Amino acid sequence: MSEKTKERMEIDTGREVFLDSDEPNRPLSRYNQIRFLLNQNNIPVQESWHPPEIKEQSTDRYFEVTIDFAHRPDLISYMYYGTMQLYWVIALANDMIDPIAETSVGKRLRIPDRDYIFQEILFR
Residues 119, 76: Cα–Cα separation, whole Å = 20
CB neighbour class for 14 (10 Å; exposed up to 12, middle 13-18, buried from 19) = exposed
Domain edges within the chain: 3-46, 61-122
DSSP H helical segments within the chain, as ranges?
A: 3-7, 73-81, 87-93, 99-102, 114-116
pLDDT given for residue 11 in this prediction:
37
- Tens of pLDDT, residue by residue over 57-83, are 999 999 999 999 999 999 999 999 999
pLDDT of residue 94: 97
pTM of this structure = 0.67
